[in-house]
Amino acid sequence: MLTNEQIIGQALDRIRAGYVFPEKAMELDAAIRRRAAAGEYDALDGPALCETVTAHFQEVCPDKHLRLLWSDRPQSLEPQDQDEGRAAFAALLRTENQGVRRVERLDGGIGLIDLTRIATADGGAAAIGAAMQLVAHSPALVLDLRDCLGGSPEGAAMWCSYFFTDDQVHLNDMHERANGETRQFWTLPYLPGPRYPDRPVYVLTSATTFSGGEDVAYTLQAHGRAVVVGETTRGGAHPTARHPVTEHVLVTVPAARAVNAVTGTNWEGVGVQPDVAVPGDRALEVALKAALEHLGADARPA
């Protein structure tokens, strides 16, 4: 059975080997090993150890995807199979209707799409297209990401593509540490539903909105294609790998970073800042009022 210091040591080895910012990984490694050598973690049980070490990770490196996690259920110590991970995520998305929780017609015919996940571009394409078909003739759209917990970068690019006229918009880049490659994300040339390029879009956020949900909000805001209404989001911009350390402890290591084509940066550690800051539970009310006022102004003669 591993001691707490050994558990931490193995987790730090993973971070040093894979974290997207190698220099920061070395700084983190030194700081946490000093605490471990001083005995700060010796008396902690598993859940408390993970919580405390994660808090100390954040002090050195405020990366919300960089965590030591406790699992009550024993897990395999074999390296995670990427195909198995993708299959598990695909199964989760199927149970959640590819992340589309509801589509509604609000006052004034304004459309609402409520998302809990950002589906993959292949598995989620039909559901995403169907949702966009249902709001195709609305005069304005509210995209509710307040409970969106993340998902696929490819799916985020697909969602964003609906709000531009063609495939000529460079959305963002993804830099990967493992191979040193940079992958560009552009709006897609073909979509399974009608585009929505020329009408107002309001994106709702909360302190729960995370990762892939933040990607959609940040990208549409940066390109001037949506007004973000609600709360500052959690601030997780780095795609992440999960590595088991023991049967109950795993470490999550951000292995890539997003760079927006407009801002040259991302939302890591700072979150998406709303254009209209209101409590999350009032965001829909405020966005709907703004949309109706905007549409009323457009309808009046100059």
Q: Residue 54 has what pLDDT?
A: 96
For residues 154-159, average pLDDT: 96
- pLDDT higher than 60, residue 136: yes
For residues 86-100, average pLDDT: 88
Q: Residue 88 has what pLDDT?
A: 80
Report the alpha-carbon distance of residue 225 to residue 203 in Å, rounded.
10
SS3 49: helix
% of the chain exceeding 70 in pLDDT = 96
- pLDDT higher than 60, residue 299: no
Of 286, 139, 143, residue with least CA distance to 199: 139
Q: Which of 74-78, 166-170, 272-276 has the lowest mean pLDDT?
A: 74-78
Q: Residue 89 has what pLDDT?
A: 83
In the chain, the amino acid numbered 53 is: V
% of the chain exceeding 90 in pLDDT = 80
Q: Residue 288 has what pLDDT?
A: 97
Report the alpha-carbon distance of residue 294 to residue 278 in Å, rounded.
19
Question: Does an H or E element contain 241, and which?
Answer: strand 240-244
Grade residue 86 by pLDDT with cuts at 50, 70 and 90.
confident
Report the alpha-carbon distance of residue 167 to residue 10 in Å, rounded.
44
SS3 238: coil
The model's pLDDT over 196-233, given as tens digits with 9 standing for 90+, comes to: 999 999 999 999 999 999 999 999 999 999 999 999 99
17, with CB counted inside 10 A (0-12, 13-18, 19+), is: middle
Grade residue 301 by pLDDT with cuts at 50, 70 and 90.
very low
Give the residue extent of every domain in the chain.
Answer: 4-70, 96-236+271-299
With tokens 């919580």, the residue in question is 51
Q: Which of 184-188, 228-232, 253-257, 287-291 has the lowest mean pLDDT?
A: 253-257
The per-residue DSSP string of 104-165 comes to EE-GGG-EEEEESSB--TTTTHHHHHHHHHHTTT-SSEEEE-TT---B-HHHHHHHHHTTSS
Q: Residue 300 has what pLDDT?
A: 44
Q: Residue 240 has what pLDDT?
A: 84
What pTM value is reported for the model? 0.84
Q: Residue 297 has what pLDDT?
A: 65
Grade residue 79 by pLDDT with cuts at 50, 70 and 90.
low
Question: 96-236+271-299 architecture in CATH?
Answer: Alpha-Beta Complex (3.90)
Report the alpha-carbon distance of residue 83 to residue 101 in Å, rounded.
26
Q: Give me the chain's average pLDDT, please.
A: 92
Cβ–Cβ under 8 Å, residues 8 and 36: yes
Q: What is the dihedral of CA 290, 294, 295, 299, to 10 degrees?
A: 150
Q: Residue 224 has what pLDDT?
A: 97
